[in-house]
Amino acid sequence: MSKVLSWQGWLVFAALAALPLTPWMSKYYLLLAFDALLFGAVALSLDLLMGYSGLVSFGHAAFFGLGAYSTAVLLERGVLSLWLCLGLAAVVVGAYALTVSYFATTRRGIYFALLTLIFAEVIYTFFRYTQTFGGSDGIQGLPPSQVWSGVAIDTPARLYYLVVAYLLLAYLACRALVRSHFGQVLVAIRENEDRARFLGYNVQRYKMGVCMISAVLTGLAGALYPGRAAYATPDLLHWSISGEFLIMVMIGGLGTLVGPIIGGVFFTVLQEKVSSYVQWYNIVIGLVLVLIVLFVPRGLLGFRHALRRRPGREAA
Amino acid sequence: MSQGETMLEIAGVSKSFGALAALAGVSFTVREGEVFSVIGPNGAGKSTLFNVISGLHVPTGGRIVLRGTEITGRPPEVINRQGLAKTFQITNIFPGISVYDNVRVAAQSRTPVSGRLSSLWRLPDVEGPVMGLLDAFGLTARRGDLAQNLSHGEQRYLEICLALATEPALLLLDEPTAGMTPGETKEATALIRRIALDRSLTVLLIEHDMSVVMGISDRIAVLHFGEKIAEGPPEVIRSNPKVLDAYLGGADE
């Protein structure tokens, strides 16, 4: 196994860690950076599924939103421990993902994607119309979580460092995964699922495995969200959010891990900036996305994908 | 060849697709260490037979026993782990990854880490067996190329490498020389024979090309409209009147 992270990688994370020390990082920009990196982490998790396993999920908003609601429910009841919030999110999202993936992996291609969408819509509808969870208002006015008793994550800088730490860990986990035996089999399944079966691989087990890993990583990111927004609403579970996650992965570059992180950051910042100037920001964003698809169809980091296919011995 | 133990027993295997009986009560036994071929005109049920043995189709009737374990109707991944590997008539590889990675992912299937939790962060070292296979099939120089960029003949060899990398006891070859030139066919036949001997493999072969079958097989079974009409060593099959009739007049029936 190679180094944990390349020197370029460490440099990027060192720069991210130093960012709040620069004078122009106001509270507003720290929170924007939080969102950008959080959605970068979500796009990274989705890339495991789309880029490496060839499975398209239209339901990742459900994993994200369930993670957010898990935290919200605990914070609302005065359980402030960040670790309990993350733990509950992992359990809830893991259980839900087990159910979804068990059924969805029995189908392929568009049918897989539609099943993830249908399950996610059920979750959306449930939270939208259940008063216990606040119905359409969601759960509002939440206190910040605490790393340990008395140390609350209540400033933009602390939130920012929390998301940088999560992104680093999630990236290292995904990177180790795609280089492992498991990750190599996923690529084989993406390339030719039937052949993988004839080589002795239980394809459904691998697919369920990667679905659950991707879902739990997305859910953990979701669990960090109420700490910043002080709410969890059904909007987080909406299918249009799943669509945005897909777009982040596509514009960043499928199957590159780093690309989707950049895609998530790019999309989030673009959306925030454009929407602060014009009401019809979606038209501008749409136009930018069309241009990206036309001129860099493999995504901003698509060239890395080609580079990864070098001779076997050195290959990751 | 020595007459070894029973490797594969096919007992009264039938397979129907709706009203069409693709296989009707086919029985034969493949012994350890031999090259056993199944021949027959187009539509005789050869590929269906292979698909039933390898787990793609569930047979309508009959039993299939591999090395003493019944595998009838089991899924392909389970049958492969019982020691049976199959190559495909139409090349079936991993097109978008390198030749080396193709064979590596196949070889990984037999490492202890496969299926364990530690497979999430470990990558087993299979360089030795992978390079051995690539060397044997003359693919070493192309190991870094994408599999989809290989020539047809090279892809046919890669196909066999994938199957062999799972260390089978029984290798099913479905028309391995399909689409090859006569020169390539001759070379491939010799290579398959040599590798089968080196690895003490049992081979079950489907082949169209009679010259390949006659040169390589210890015994031959002939299928015709889903039924076995003859079985025996090449010289017996060559002069069997029913076989000659099937091949020359079979289209009329």
Whether residue B38 lies inside any domain: the answer is yes
Residues 6 or more apart in contact with residue B121 via CB below 8 angstroms: A1, A176, A177, A180
Amino acid in position A63: F
pLDDT score of A43:
97
Q: B54 — contact with chain A (CB < 8 Å)?
A: yes
Whether the per-residue pLDDT at A2 is higher than 60: the answer is no
Interface contact A198-B108, CB threshold 8 A: no
B146 part of a folded domain: no
pLDDT at B145: 94
Q: How many residue contacts between A and B have a Cβ separation below 8 Å?
A: 113
Say how many Å lie between the first and final Cα of chain A, rounded: 9
Answer whether residue A22 shows pLDDT above 80.
yes
The enclosing H or E element of A146 equals strand A146-148
Asked whether residue B199 is domain-assigned, the answer is yes
- Does A180 sit within 8 Å of B144, measured CB to CB? no
Mutation for A interface: B82, B100, B105, B155, most A CBs within 10 A: B105
Q: Are B172 and B204 in contact (CB under 8 A)?
A: yes
d(CA A100, CA A63): 11
d(CA A309, CA A296): 19
Dump pLDDT digits (tens) for B18-56: 888 899 999 999 999 999 999 988 888 898 999 999 999
Tokens of A31: 């929170």
Is-contact A207 A112, C-beta < 8 A? Answer: no
User: Please, which pLDDT band fits residue A311 given cuts at 50, 70 and 90?
Assistant: very low
Q: Measure the CA–CA gap between A1 and A255, rounded to whole angstroms.
A: 20
Domain interval for residue B24: 6-83+168-252
The amino acid occupying position B81 is R
Identity of the residue numbered A255: G
d(CA B86, CA B170): 9
* A171 pLDDT tier (thresholds 50, 70, 90): very high
* Confidence (pLDDT) at B3: 56
CATH of the domain at B236: 3.40.50.300
CA B165 to CA B158: how far, in whole Å?
10
Number of domains in chain B: 1
Backbone angles phi, psi at B15, to 5 degrees: -150, 120
pLDDT at B250: 47
Task: State which H helix or E strand residue B17 sits in.
Answer: strand B6-17
**Inter-residue contact A272 to A35 (CB < 8 Å):** yes
- Distance CA(A29)–CA(A156), nearest Å, equals 9
CA distance A57 to A208: 13
Residue B70 within any structural domain of the chain: yes
pLDDT by residue (tens digit) across A74-122? 999 999 999 999 999 999 999 999 999 999 999 988 999 999 999 999 9
Q: Which of B123, B167, B173 has the most A C-beta neighbours within 10 Å, making it the best mutation to test the interface with A?
A: B123
> How many Å lie between the alpha carbon of B253 and the closest alpha carbon of chain A?
35
Residue B24 resides in a domain? yes
The pLDDT of residue B218: 92
Asked if residue A171 lies in contact with residue A264, where contact means CB atoms within 8 angstroms, the answer is: no
Q: Between chains, do B97 and A309 touch, taking CB under 8 Å as contact?
A: yes
Q: Among A34, A38, A69, which residue's Cα sits nearest to residue A233? A: A69
Which pLDDT tens digit goes with each residue over B65-102? 999 999 999 999 999 999 999 999 888 999 999 999 99
Q: Among residues A5, A3, A1, A2, which one has the least CA distance to residue A172?
A: A5
How far is Cα B60 from Cα B76, in angstroms, rounded to an integer? 17
Confidence class of residue A288 from pLDDT cuts 50, 70 and 90?
confident
- Reported as a single tens digit per residue, the pLDDT across A213-222 is 999 999 999 9
Q: What is the tens place of the pLDDT at every residue in B125-184?
A: 999 999 999 999 999 999 999 999 999 999 999 999 999 999 999 999 999 888 888 888
User: What ipTM was reported for this prediction?
Assistant: 0.89
pTM above 0.95, yes or no: no
**pLDDT number for residue B18:** 87
A188–B110 C-beta distance less than 8 A: no
Encoded tokens for B127: 């360089």
Q: How far apart are CA A166 and CA A85, in angstroms?
A: 14
Tokens representing residue A181 in the block: 């035996």
pLDDT at A20: 87
